[in-house]
Structure 1
Amino acid sequence: GFQRTMLIAIGGLLKVRFKDGEREVKVQSICLEEDAARLVDDDSHVRTYALDRLGIPLVEITLEPVTGTSEEIANVALTLGRLLRATRRVARGLGSIRQDVNISIEGGGVVEVKGVQRLDQLKKVIEYEMKRQHGLKIIAERLRCMNISIDHPMIVDVSRLFINTESRVIRSVLDARGVVKALALKGFAGMLAYEPYEGIRLGRELGELVRFYGLGGIFHSDELPAYGISREEVDAVRRALMLNSNDAFILLAGREESVGSAMHAIVERLKQALIGVPAETRAATQDGRTVYSRPRPGAARMYPETDIPPIAISKEMLSKLRNSIPKTWDEYVDELSKRYGINKVLAEKVFDSDHLDLFERIAESTSIQASFIASTLTETIVSLERQGLDASRLKDEHVEDAFARISRGEIAKESIASIFEVIMQGKADSVDKAIDMLGLRAVSDEELSSILDGIIGENYNIVKEKGDRALGMLMGIAMKRLRGRVDGSKVNILLKSKIEEITRK
């Protein structure tokens, strides 16, 4: 199917904090989209689509170009995301909000990077693209200084030169009746592997490009002999292309149709390499890099929707919308802070997290201090994730169950991190099993009193000598033995009472 788009609004602005103060970022448009099916496989005869996205409604908000650092641009995305979340009408969680960001440097084409899902990923993508695009600019300047031209490309079928090759890639292509073609590049020696920055090189750009045509990559003379291609085969290709030591070549292996299309694309890309940064669409990787996805589509692909009539906007509709504008992010954070008695920093963390609704349910249904609930959801769980544990195993029902048990006095609040850790490790699939595994069943008042009496007996002389000043030491010993089974405040009160009783005698 096709992606269908309805224009909802134009204009508007966001107020965003930059290093030089607050600036207004203008909104170009707000559209409602109906997503298309997703292409998952494409060969010469069959295209396979997944229908999991077909018809999914999306809101697309397009901002005007912004100049700034990666952190400032990420703050623009954060501000927009907070505004959307403040409506309480958008889905939360990874993948629910995605940024497609257009990045360009002076004199370069606009590169659209799609699929950025996290703010930390957005900063890395911008920084990587800045480095990549500046690197391509340096390569272009160097090529122009060398007076290199791609006006009359020479492409030769060199399959016969690899009849006895030891390259597994080329061998499998020839066995499948594919071809090997070579492109001569006059004066290009060293330029395909040249790196103005680590990992930024023309050979890599071309390798990403040909994957669009179903090929695994390229071989080029700056990196050969290697990959099973011998010195003799390299020399034979050079002779076939009539190259000297200042020249380079590129090899492509695959189905003849794919190789022909990819070779044409390489020639066009090399012509663009003489200019600098080409306009294209790239995909964001999880580690913050980008890879070639496809050429940038032109305006010709856009045409009016013929099945749906335009919707007239009346004054009454606008008046109704004005009266239903939701609170701003700042207003919600202030309200959250006041309602639950937590500081503004913690309120911001809760609101920006994926646990706002969960926090409010727990805070409303238990007597536990809201600041402890908030810090557990926004700090403890995040800390366990950073240790490499799988947060997807920890469900909302696990979290609510654990807090309910703390509220009923069944377990101590100090035990919650250990319970979550065991569940996120996959060692337990319920709070009950985690408690049994950790031995966290609460001790009775009689058992607690007996344990504390034993600790005091072991340190009786110190208690007699120091009195109340021994409390800290005894608390350390007690909590080490009891951690997770009794609330620390309860231990503190009982220990203090027992010490006072001894000192009065």
Structure 2
Amino acid sequence: MSAYDYEDLGLVAGLEIHQQLDTSRKLFCECPTERREPEESHRRLTRYLHPTKSELGELDDAALEESRVDREFEYLGFDTTCLVEEDDEPPSRLSREALDVTMQIAALLDMEAVDQAHVMRKLVIDGSNTSGFQRTTLVAQAGEISTTEGPVSVEDLLLEEESAQRVEATEKGVRWSLDRLGIPLVEIGTGPDISSPEQAREAAETIGMLLRSTGKVKRGLGTIRQDVNVSIADGARVEIKGVQALDQIDEIVRLEVRRQVELLAIRDSLRERDAAVGEPRDVSDVFEDTDSSVIAGALSSGGTVGALRLDGFDGLVGHELQPDRRFGTELSDHAKRHGAGGVFHTDELPAYGVTEAEVESLREAVDAGPEDAVVLVADAPETVDLSLEAVAERARTAVEGVPEETRDALEDGTTRYLRPLPGAARMYPETDVPPVEPDPSEVEVPELLTEKTERYQEAYGLGAGLAEQVAYGRRFTLFEAAVEEGVDPTLAANTLESTLTELRRDDVPVENLTDDHLMELLLLVEGGDLAKEGVGDVLSVLAENPDLSAEEAVEEAGLAGVGDEEVRAAVVEVVERNADQIDEQGMGAFSALMGEAMGALRGKADGGQVSDVLREEIQKRA
């Protein structure tokens, strides 16, 4: 991929960061915020959603397009699911706990709180909410963060309810899980101040650090999502949704810039060729005896083959926009929105069982000339009509340039079409929830994770790397509580970060370990009831048997502490077994024998104690 001069291209980017809050209840009901597995559900309900007009009588374009896809939405309910989540009861008041955390975030972003926060309804009919809208409220505005490439403004901070979790597609539509619906979520929108891919990533990392500094945000896959808005001077604003990995943001921006540059090149070529879009035609007879399994399968099922002539598009439908994604892929994305499996086009044919002779017949059937391309869809008649209509609209837009739209981030950093950009017509007031008045004077501004890292080094003597691991980890609150109880800071830090990480890599179910388990264990070590060398073994037992206490897990692991006499006896046995090595090497044999002695005691004794006894016994021999 070519390196671009982003300043010359006029790159402008902004971020929308969505972060789930770790609160005791959901935003508008008393239900817990813990996630559940779909197989835990015990009831199901269905909905069909349609768009409604705003207060000004307008319909949102994104909602209107979504409504053209006829789908049934099925929702999985759990023993914790309430009538608010099912949209069978009005919402309760907005969670004060969630508002307090949001106000902390506002303070960290140097934002000004609104005088009165009003809950609004945002029209969403993709099935991700049982009500057909998402409740959201503006809490603060006009903030700023710093990056090495200059300041980035933060325009707004909203508190809203999380959407339902998509489980899978069904024959009739989409299945969703209600466990996630209603979890408090903050949305942070930056200004369009970002001018390079690297700055986009740095800004996202900075905001992520500030969010985690509250200690009240959820962690793990899916709990934070970044949307990236990207445009170049001659292109258009494109919103890329669902970026889950911070290290993907810079690549997402680079590839979107490339996509827009290539679309502009296609636009210029189309204008030179005086390109146009023809009318769809039924060309089923061309493929009556085809060897293409896709086309033959559609025809045998009562379907048709529709074709669309694109005047002046020859060679451009196959033009690559992003790695392994061509302009034809964009046309296919639009067709898929209406149920088609995809499209064929003459830039890639003959292929897929379609012969050269069939391509020639196809061109004749639609009166295509040498500079024209032809797009095919084979499916049920209604699907063919809707899909080709969508392809035609996208092809017409290509002559104009880059369309404004919402796109979905894929794992490799490329994107695919989702829907048009939403507009203001999808917002209207929520009449069931009273407004609230945020009070900035009551906000306790949390310590930044960067500051916490420095404090851990200075106050507890932790190395820079370990201090950062603990400060940025999920259990810094537990670490501080353990140290307050007298636990050695290095022991606590290594246990909560290094030991747990190693166990996780060994497939030990460490997610079963509670803070109580870990605190009890650390206190046992501090009290001399467990050697620190046995921590990993005891944690493994606890993870597999979470109903045990830490003390019971020590017994189960066979690591109950041993007395001084037992330690010395074990060490003497090792020394006697290696008498010849000691006679030859003296204290030089210490390292090898230390490992053997610790193995003999199997973590039942502290390494310092074993070391002292071993030195004594070697010196006696020497």
Place the TM-score, normalised by the shorter chain, in its bin.
0.7 to 0.9
Equivalence for 1:12: 143
CA deviation after TM superposition for structure 1 residue 180, in Å = 1.9
CA deviation after TM superposition for structure 1 residue 493, in Å = 1.7
Equivalence for 1:359: 479
CA deviation after TM superposition for structure 1 residue 127, in Å = 1.0
Using the alignment, how far apart are the partners of 1:382 and 1:150 within structure 2?
A: 59
CA deviation after TM superposition for structure 1 residue 31, in Å = 1.8
The match for 2:380 among 238, 247, 255 is: 255
* Deviates further, 387-396 or 145-154: 387-396
Shift in CA distance, 421/155, structure 1 to aligned 2, threshold 3 Å:
farther
Query: Contact conserved, 2:236 with 2:403, CA < 8 A, in 1?
Result: yes
Equivalence for 2:156: 29
> What does residue range 211-250 of structure 1 map to in structure 2 within 5 Å?
211-250=336-375
Equivalence for 1:282: 407
Query: Contact conserved, 1:441 with 1:485, CA < 8 A, in 2?
Result: yes
Equivalence for 1:154: 279
Using the alignment, how far apart are the partners of 1:169 and 1:358 within structure 2?
A: 58
* Deviates further, 57-66 or 471-480: 471-480
Equivalence for 2:203: 76
Using the alignment, how far apart are the partners of 2:556 and 2:289 within structure 1?
A: 62
Q: Quote the sequence identity (%).
A: 37
> What does residue range 381-392 of structure 1 map to in structure 2 within 5 Å?
381-382=500-501, 389=507
Equivalence for 1:348: 468
Equivalence for 1:109: 236
The residue type equivalent to 1:263 in the other structure is L
The match for 2:513 among 395, 398, 415 is: 395
Is 2:594 the partner of 1:475? yes
Query: Contact conserved, 1:285 with 1:291, CA < 8 A, in 2?
Result: yes
Shift in CA distance, 307/414, structure 1 to aligned 2, threshold 3 Å:
same
* Deviates further, 36-45 or 233-242: 36-45
Q: Note the aligned Cα RMSD (angstroms).
A: 3.9
Where 2:320 maps in the other structure, the secondary structure is coil
The residue type equivalent to 1:354 in the other structure is R
TM-score (norm 1): 0.80
The residue type equivalent to 2:317 in the other structure is L
Equivalence for 1:85: 212
Where 2:347 maps in the other structure, the secondary structure is helix
Query: Contact conserved, 2:460 with 2:489, CA < 8 A, in 1?
Result: yes
Query: Contact conserved, 2:321 with 2:327, CA < 8 A, in 1?
Result: no
The match for 1:57 among 134, 159, 184 is: 184
Using the alignment, how far apart are the partners of 2:305 and 2:273 within structure 1?
A: 25
Shift in CA distance, 179/391, structure 1 to aligned 2, threshold 3 Å:
farther
CA deviation after TM superposition for structure 1 residue 414, in Å = 4.1
Shift in CA distance, 377/257, structure 1 to aligned 2, threshold 3 Å:
farther
Is 2:296 the partner of 1:180? no
Where 1:303 maps in the other structure, the secondary structure is strand
Using the alignment, how far apart are the partners of 2:530 and 2:321 within structure 1?
A: 59
> What does residue range 75-474 of structure 1 map to in structure 2 within 5 Å?
75-120=202-247, 124-142=248-266, 144-145=268-269, 147-195=272-320, 198-307=323-432, 317-318=439-440, 320-321=441-442, 324-337=444-457, 340-364=460-484, 367=487, 369-382=488-501, 389=507, 393=511, 395-396=513-514, 403=522, 406-407=525-526, 412-414=531-533, 416=535, 428=544, 446=565, 448-474=567-593
Using the alignment, how far apart are the partners of 2:236 and 2:402 within structure 1?
A: 5
Cα deviations across residues 405-435 of structure 1 (Å, max 9, x unaligned)? 65566665445557778999xxx55699999
CA deviation after TM superposition for structure 1 residue 181, in Å = 1.0
Equivalence for 2:611: 492
CA deviation after TM superposition for structure 1 residue 241, in Å = 1.8
Query: Contact conserved, 2:198 with 2:250, CA < 8 A, in 1?
Result: no
CA deviation after TM superposition for structure 1 residue 44, in Å = 11
Equivalence for 2:117: none
Where 1:217 maps in the other structure, the secondary structure is coil
Using the alignment, how far apart are the partners of 2:384 and 2:506 within structure 1?
A: 42
Shift in CA distance, 469/55, structure 1 to aligned 2, threshold 3 Å:
closer
Instruction: Identify the structure with the greater helix proportion.
Output: 1
CA deviation after TM superposition for structure 1 residue 462, in Å = 4.0
The residue type equivalent to 2:576 in the other structure is G
Where 2:614 maps in the other structure, the secondary structure is helix
Query: Contact conserved, 1:194 with 1:202, CA < 8 A, in 2?
Result: yes
Cα deviations across residues 428-483 of structure 1 (Å, max 9, x unaligned)? 55699999999877776555434433433344344345433332233244456666
Using the alignment, how far apart are the partners of 1:405 and 1:249 within structure 2?
A: 74
Using the alignment, how far apart are the partners of 1:24 and 1:73 within structure 2?
A: 12
CA deviation after TM superposition for structure 1 residue 370, in Å = 2.1
Shift in CA distance, 391/148, structure 1 to aligned 2, threshold 3 Å:
farther
Using the alignment, how far apart are the partners of 2:370 and 2:230 within structure 1?
A: 38
The residue type equivalent to 1:60 in the other structure is E
The residue type equivalent to 1:348 in the other structure is E
The residue type equivalent to 2:313 in the other structure is F
The residue type equivalent to 1:195 in the other structure is E
The residue type equivalent to 1:28 in the other structure is E
Query: Contact conserved, 1:132 with 1:200, CA < 8 A, in 2?
Result: no
Using the alignment, how far apart are the partners of 1:419 and 1:235 within structure 2?
A: 73
Using the alignment, how far apart are the partners of 1:392 and 1:278 within structure 2?
A: 47
CA deviation after TM superposition for structure 1 residue 77, in Å = 2.0
Using the alignment, how far apart are the partners of 1:172 and 1:388 within structure 2?
A: 48
Shift in CA distance, 5/154, structure 1 to aligned 2, threshold 3 Å:
same
Shift in CA distance, 236/206, structure 1 to aligned 2, threshold 3 Å:
same
CA deviation after TM superposition for structure 1 residue 326, in Å = 3.5
Where 1:154 maps in the other structure, the secondary structure is coil
Query: Contact conserved, 2:332 with 2:391, CA < 8 A, in 1?
Result: no
* Deviates further, 152-161 or 281-290: 281-290
Shift in CA distance, 136/102, structure 1 to aligned 2, threshold 3 Å:
closer
Using the alignment, how far apart are the partners of 2:534 and 2:291 within structure 1?
A: 61
The residue type equivalent to 1:138 in the other structure is E
Where 2:342 maps in the other structure, the secondary structure is coil
Query: Contact conserved, 2:263 with 2:321, CA < 8 A, in 1?
Result: yes
The residue type equivalent to 1:110 in the other structure is R
Is 2:617 the partner of 1:502? no
The residue type equivalent to 1:238 in the other structure is R
CA deviation after TM superposition for structure 1 residue 143, in Å = 5.3
* Unpaired segments ≥5 residues, structure 2: 1-130
Using the alignment, how far apart are the partners of 2:413 and 2:613 within structure 1?
A: 53
Using the alignment, how far apart are the partners of 1:258 and 1:436 within structure 2?
A: 66
Using the alignment, how far apart are the partners of 2:416 and 2:228 within structure 1?
A: 14
CA deviation after TM superposition for structure 1 residue 156, in Å = 1.2
Using the alignment, how far apart are the partners of 2:508 and 2:351 within structure 1?
A: 40
CA deviation after TM superposition for structure 1 residue 496, in Å = 1.1
CA deviation after TM superposition for structure 1 residue 64, in Å = 0.9
Query: Contact conserved, 2:277 with 2:310, CA < 8 A, in 1?
Result: no
Shift in CA distance, 444/200, structure 1 to aligned 2, threshold 3 Å:
farther
